[in-house]
Amino acid sequence: MTAPLTEGWPTSAAAAAQVTADKYGPPDEASPNTLIWHDRTPWKRVVVSRAIVPHRFPHEHVDVVQHVVEQPVPMERLADLARFNGSVVYDRTRGELSSHCEDEEGNILALNLAHDVVAHGMDPDAARRRCHEAIETRNSENRDPYLDALVFEPGRGPDPDEATIDDELRDRLRHALGGADRPA
Amino acid sequence: MTETLDRVVGDWPEEAQEAARRTAERYGPPDETMPRRLVWNHPLPWKRIVVNRDASEHHFPEPHQDRIESWVDLEVPRESAADVAAFNGSIRVNRTRGEVAATCHVEAVNFLAVNLAHDLVSGRIGVDEARREYTEMVASHLMGRPQAYTSGFAFEPASTGAGTADEDRPVAPHEVPTVSARGTGRPA
């Protein structure tokens, strides 16, 4: 289905595109380097890129597909989130949490553990160990359920922050700069 | 704008069309066009610029809509990631890729955000100072006073990539789309 869109892509990227299309239908947006699916529950967005990225955690692989959920992360948990996994990215303004891995189950696992870290205070090192162990169960009878589905309900959490430019600052700067405002 | 670009963004909100037009005027037509986003690859000195149809509301340092994502190679150690997010929620850190993106409504403020993020990571300033300097420099910019930090990078971006692949072991630069570097970027 996606073959014409991924011509010339690395095999891993083209395969990820095909798997995603098999599950979610044709992409909503396509360019020579990127395919995007919007609003495929539970995902806000799924992105497959031609640019593959080597990643050694939890094992050697290439990051090729990104799954995005809306999920707020408390500021005080960001440091532990960063310690957990460098391919889990938080966009504070949009309230989006994403994981970039070799396939969807890798991203489900990473996001479930990220949620444990930020919402339940799981130690990041423990989360990394669980990630290693869970991946090893992929093809076993004792498959870790964290690979199969999100164990939390995504929720909206954009954080627009607060305005810090006020009239007092404008007056002070205008005085310091010695003139009236000029157009930006 | 070119006829093609006009057609792509014709039904976009006016502010999004304006962001696309300004970026195209500076860097030429986009390399990738999609219904909701335009992408410029290697618009020097940036690694990538994405203009989004859909905005997110951002109030720091004053209410505006984030639409223009500007990406650069910058290594952010894991112990600094939370400080960067506390400084400015519109900065995203992808540690594995070694990339940082600042998103705002004007490119100049993205330069400022990345420059101050670099200062934060390198230890020159703390979070509170970064927010204060950002506030004052954005206000000055809006009053028509361009500054070095809003005109280009105040540091040398990693020329060979900053990807860590985890465990802080650098790897060879990852494969990027085979689009030749543009020479149209205005000197920083």
pLDDT, tens only, B6-31: 889 999 999 999 999 999 999 999 99
pLDDT at res. A177? 72
pLDDT, tens only, B28-64: 999 999 999 999 999 999 999 999 999 999 999 999 9
Question: Where are chain A's structural domains?
Answer: 3-177
pLDDT at res. A159? 95
Tokens of residue B180, six digits: 């030749």
pLDDT at res. B176? 42
List of residues 6+ apart from A94 with CB closer than 8 A? A70, A158, B56
The phi and psi torsions of A70 (rounded to 5 degrees) equal -85, 120
The residues with which A88 forms a beta bridge, in sequence order, are: A99
> What residues in chain A have per-residue pLDDT under 70?
1, 179-184
pLDDT, tens only, B112-165: 999 999 999 999 999 999 999 999 999 999 888 889 999 999 998 876 666 666
Question: Where are chain B's structural domains?
Answer: 3-151
The phi and psi torsions of A167 (rounded to 5 degrees) equal -65, -35
Number of A to B CB contacts under 8 A, please give it.
162
Of B23, B69, B60, the closest CA to residue B182 belongs to B23
A57/B131 CB distance under 8 A: no
**If contacts are CB pairs under 8 Å, which of residues 118-177 in chain B contact chain A?**
131, 135-136, 138-145, 163-167, 169, 171, 174-177
Question: Which residues of chain A lie closer than 8 angstroms to B104, CB-CB?
Answer: none
Q: Are B42 and B179 in contact (CB under 8 A)?
A: yes
A55/B33 CB distance under 8 A: no
* Residue positions counted in chain B: 188
B96/A86 CB distance under 8 A: yes
